[in-house]
Amino acid sequence: MSVIIFDNEAVTNSKFGCSPSERSLDDLLGSGILLVKKPRGPTSHQLTAWIRNILGIKKIGHGGTLDPMATGLLTILCGKAARLTDIILKGDKRYISVIRFKRTVDSEELENLLSDLNGEIYNVPPKESAVKVQVRTRTIKSLNLLDFEPKSGIAIIEISCVAGTYPKPDLVVEKIFSRHFHTFDQVP
């Protein structure tokens, strides 16, 4: 266990910068990271271009592609922070998925199944993706059951995986669960 100690009396030397709360908006956008809730429809590239035009930022990028129909947080890197793009793109990812089972599933059975599904999987990107559609191996680091309502058959799971994994129910979870359950669908 690590211990973090904050020094409430620490002072920043003005020769080396200032507190983020004292910076101008231009300074923040010149070296900041924005988290934007991406709606269904636009590509990550389109959303980034809109932000560039609206905010007038010359150097901007995004830290991972969300497919056009996907929603979620898109990391936008502004100004000097754009140098971090490669680091963020290559980093591990975490997703939350809502699943509804059409047949009764026991929570213990589901927990056991999830714990057995870590490791390498075969993964195919969707047709709309920005990468070549071909079978690839990817690593699922963990699948955790966050919440489960047996009566409705709705489960919320957390998927931790390597970059480049497409953990959509129809591409990953369905393949995994179809070995154990006969029917499956995604909650809209």
Q: Left (φ > 0), alpha (ψ -120 to 50) or beta: where does 172 sit?
A: alpha
Residue 67 annotated to the active site: yes
pLDDT of 19 strictly over 70: yes
Note the pLDDT of residue 60.
Answer: 92
Model confidence at 169, pLDDT cuts 50, 70, 90, reads: low
The mean pLDDT of 21-25, rounded to a whole number, is 85
What domains can you pick out in the chain, each with its CATH number? 23-89 (no CATH), 92-186 (3.30.2350.10)
Catalytic one among 7, 26, 27, 67? 67
pLDDT digits (tens, 9 = 90+) for 58-104: 999 988 877 787 788 889 999 999 998 888 888 888 888 888 877 77
Measured between alpha carbons, how far is 130 from 173 in angstroms, rounded to an integer? 21
What pTM value is reported for the model? 0.63
